Chains A and B, each alone.
Chain A
Amino acid sequence: MHINIILAGVGGQGILTIAAVIGRAALQSNLTIRQTEVHGMSQRGGAVQSHLRISNRTIYSDLIAEGTAHMILSVEPHEALRYLPFLAPQSRIITSIDPFINVENYPAIEDILAELRRTNSPVLVNAAELAREAGNARTSNMVMLGAAAPYIRIATEQLESAIGELFHAKGPDIVDINIRAFRKGQELSQTQATEL
């Protein structure tokens, strides 16, 4: 078992929470993990990425080498494209299709989707809509984690229990909403996978 995931998004979209959940679940599954974060300057509405590596053997590098990522998991469609050189052959993009527009020259969403569809069987997720259905628009990141779950070889129970621990301090309602969001994403992803 050895998985390299590029997490992508814009500062403030919650990709570090996704990383924290996977990290916790991986550690509980006795796996080795490395997960880089971006701090400081790049947080202010800039592009944010995190390299997440999980393995059952020694991981040396904190960074993922180009052409070796098994997945780009993005909470923003345009940001998913930025890291294409990292993607290994036959690996896929799993991304939200909700644009985060804070620059004037943001490309047309149709062009972004066209580029995404050009990659190997991407999983495109209407994350904001599913998050609202789950009960809170701010849980898009957990929808995306759910969408990625079928492709991360960590047990669903471990991921859900990590969500529970992470949001524990915010009360049972918040935990429930986040788990609901996670399941919505997972369901969508599984349906797409069977259709393929």
Chain B
Amino acid sequence: MNKHLLLGAEAIALGALDAGISGVYAYPGTPSTEITEYIQKNSDALAQPVRSSWSTNEKTAYEAALGMSYAGKRSLVCMKHVGLNVAADAFINSAITGVNGGLVVAVADDPSMHSSQNEQDSRVYGKFAMLPVLEPSSQQDLYTATREAFDLSESVKLPVLLRLTTRLAHSRAGVERTLARMQNPLHAIYAPERFVLIPQNARRQYNVLLGMQKELEKRSEQSWLNRLITGTGSRGVIAFGIAFNYTMEVRQTFKLDFPVLQIGQYPLPRKQVESFFTSCDTILVAEEGYPVYEELLRGYFGGENIKGRMDGTLPRAGELNADIIASGLGIEPMPVMPVPDIVVQRPPALCKGCGHRDLYDALTAVMSSFREHHVFSDIGCYTLGALEPFNAIHTCVDMGASITMAKGAADAGLRPAVAVIGDSTFTHSGMTGLLDAINDRSPLTVIIADNDTTAMTGGQQSSATGSKLLDICRGLGVEEEHLKTIVPLKSHLEENMTVLKEEISYDGVSVVIAQRECIETAARKKRTKVAST
């Protein structure tokens, strides 16, 4: 079989491997996780070797990738859209320093928020950092574009942002591979004038970046990712990224022949767009995510002839599909069968036998004895504690926010102030907040739900679990007598309640670590063990 059946995420991974990366750096996050997982399991990558274990968070991942690039080698860094918020400081500034070895940052956005707290559009970050952005529309194009992104990065000496969205990341197709390229040799450069961002260097480097913009636009004009599908009629569609697929699907299904300008590389190829506008009377702008370029095009050309998300022709929020594009083009929807009335929702829930269930049973019982029973929580499987039948947590905002929000609420006078955070989320962004609380002696109880894995995204290695977590808490200054461990099991309910009640009543920082392995991970380990014997 010449073709490999790959998810979009995996096509990026294979493209990067064949481009000769020496390392991938990432923190798991749906829908980006499978990029790194593919490299971790790939036998060629293991043989090279290509460095691939999980980073503590997206910022550490990004900086390590930049360091590998500084040393002359190619590196890939991957994250979900909200992860780029965490890595943003490094990301924006790496556009000022530029790179040495090719550096590609693959960011998977999640429009419709299938597994996320917002649907921010990473192309905005690309514009913000003034970097080239690639947005291929098929798995094969993802493979090819990823390979070429490393050449582009080395040629313009800038990081390249590769953006994709959920459907492409999590859809499989046959992908053809081309000959793999060797890794770069180690060739670290002394270039303090670029990499030491004191104001005098930063100002000069910023001007270098500004001066590059024309060149980047020229590259976009020449890119195969931006192309015109000729057609007839005065109505055209500018289709960005995956919106191209839905547009072409409609064109094929309804046997239409309107012209389409496909955009897959930014900055926007101004000449191509201008010429497309001269050839059409009205234009539908189809973008997956925010109306980033629709807004810009309305500024260029005026609003009358432009349709899109901003005038309600397409919905302002949520991912696109062929039905939405068809309706945006004025095609009457076919009558379809309705969903029968008897069909009920089947929301995600904590697994049967999951330790988080027993933790919440104990915590909710304890909290019910207080007048105020706010529980600040975080991002992971345990967020499902917000749903029936638990209703156990009252916040989930961003990675690590449970501890810092509980601290702020405690500072405001809220008693008790309780945070529930997972092991992986704690090391991602919780540790620093705990240090703030300790320095302020804030009356706060942090419950770390340590299930020995990053469970929500499928059971990836967590940066610190078990005794390492205890050591971190001690190191940060948690008092030994207020650092407790419990085992969240039904049979331990009474004693767990006692420990939680004591620590929640303590007028200072206390940490309770609930240690019990994720049942999914445990079952997976057992299966692997059986298979290997």
Task: Give the B-binding residues of A (Cβ under 8 A).
Answer: 10-11, 19-20, 23-24, 27-28, 32-47, 51, 58-63, 65-68, 78-79, 81-87, 102-103, 105-107, 111-112, 115, 119, 169-170
From the candidates A34, A45, A81, name the one contacting B173 in the complex (CB within 8 A).
A34
Q: A61-B321, A62-B171, A63-B321 are in contact. Are A45 and B342 (CB under 8 A)?
A: no
Q: With both chains docked as a complex, state the minimum distance between the C-beta of B476 and any C-beta of chain A, in angstroms.
A: 31
Q: Is B333's CB within 8 Å of the partner chain A? A: yes
**Residue of A28, A79, A84 touching B340 (CB-CB under 8 A):** A84
Q: Contacts A27-B5, A40-B115, A45-B351: A66 and B343 contacting too (C-beta < 8 A)?
A: no
Q: How far is the CB of A65 from chain B (nearest CB, A)?
A: 4
Q: Using A33-B5, A40-B115, A63-B322 as known contacts, list a sample of 9 further A-B pairs with CB atoms less than 8 Å apart, ordered by residue number in A.
A: A24-B5, A37-B171, A37-B172, A42-B348, A60-B244, A65-B253, A66-B336, A103-B344, A103-B345
B114 touches A81 (CB 8 A): no
Q: How far is the CA of A39 from the CA of B30 in the complex (A)?
A: 7
Establish whether residues A115 and B340, one from each chain, have CB atoms under 8 Å apart when the complex forms. Answer: yes
Chain A to chain B contacts (Cβ below 8 Å), 29 pairs: A27-B5, A34-B171, A35-B171, A35-B172, A37-B7, A40-B31, A40-B115, A41-B456, A43-B348, A44-B349, A45-B348, A45-B351, A46-B346, A46-B349, A59-B173, A60-B248, A61-B245, A63-B321, A65-B322, A66-B334, A66-B336, A81-B339, A81-B342, A85-B336, A85-B338, A103-B344, A105-B344, A115-B340, A115-B342
Q: Which of B350-367 contact A (CB under 8 A)?
A: 350-351
B346 close to A65 (CB less than 8 A): no
The list of the 5 closest CB pairs from A to B, nearest first, reads A40-B115, A40-B30, A62-B171, A61-B249, A46-B348
B348:A11 contact, CB within 8 angstroms? yes
A60 & B246 in contact (Cβ 8 Å cutoff): yes
Q: What is the CB-to-nearest-CB distance from B513 to chain A, in angstroms, rounded to a whole number? A: 23
- For residue B381, CB closer than 8 A to chain A, the reply is yes
- Are B342's CB and A67's CB within 8 A? no
Main secondary structure of the interface of A (DSSP, over half): mixed
**How far does the Cβ of B133 sit from chain A's closest Cβ, in whole Å?**
21
Interface size in chain B (residues, C-beta < 8 A)? 53
Q: A65 to B174, Cβ gap below 8 A?
A: no
* A65/B249 in contact, CB under 8 A: yes
Cβ contacts under 8 Å, B348 to chain A:
11, 41-46
Residue-wise interface mask of B (87-131) relative to A, using a CB-CB cutoff of 8 A (1 in contact, 0 not): 000000000000000000000000000110000000000000000
- Hey, which chain A residues are within 8 Å of B5, CB to CB? 20, 23-24, 27, 33
Cα distance, A87 to B340, chains bound together (Å): 13
Q: How far is the CB of A179 from chain B (nearest CB, A)?
A: 19
A44 to B384, CA, bound (A): 10
- Contact across chains for B170 and A38 when beta carbons are under 8 A apart: yes
Residues of A within 8 Å of B244, CB to CB, are 60
Nearest residue (CB) in B for A44 is B348
Least CB distance from B346 to A in Å reads 5
A41-B30 contact given A61-B321, A66-B323, A103-B344, CB 8 Å threshold:
yes
B350 and A34 form a contact (CB under 8 A)? no
- Is B191 an interface residue when CB atoms closer than 8 A count as contact? no
Given A28-B1, A85-B339, A47 contacting B346 (CB threshold 8 A): yes
B3 within 8 A of A: yes
B326 at interface, CB cutoff 8 A: yes
- How far, in whole Å, are A34 and B1 apart by their CA atoms in the complex? 17
Cα distance, A84 to B342, chains bound together (Å): 13
Which B residues are CB-close (under 8 A) to A112?
Answer: 342
Interface flag for B231 (CB, 8 Å): no
Q: Smallest CB-CB separation from A65: which chain B residue? A: B322
Complex CA distance for A60 and B140, rounded to whole angstroms: 12
Q: In the complex, what's the smallest C-beta–C-beta distance from B220 to chain A, in angstroms?
A: 23
Instruction: Decide if A81 touches B326 in the complex (CB within 8 Å).
Output: no
**B531 at interface, CB cutoff 8 A:** yes
A2 → B minimal CB distance (Å): 10
CB distance from A193 to the nearest CB of B (A): 22
Could you tell me if B531 and A169 are in contact, using CB atoms closer than 8 angstroms? yes
CA distance A28 to B381 in the complex (A): 38
B252 at interface (Cβ–Cβ under 8 A)?
A: yes
Tell me whether B482 is interfacial, beta carbon within 8 Å: no
Bound CA–CA A11/B352 (angstroms): 13
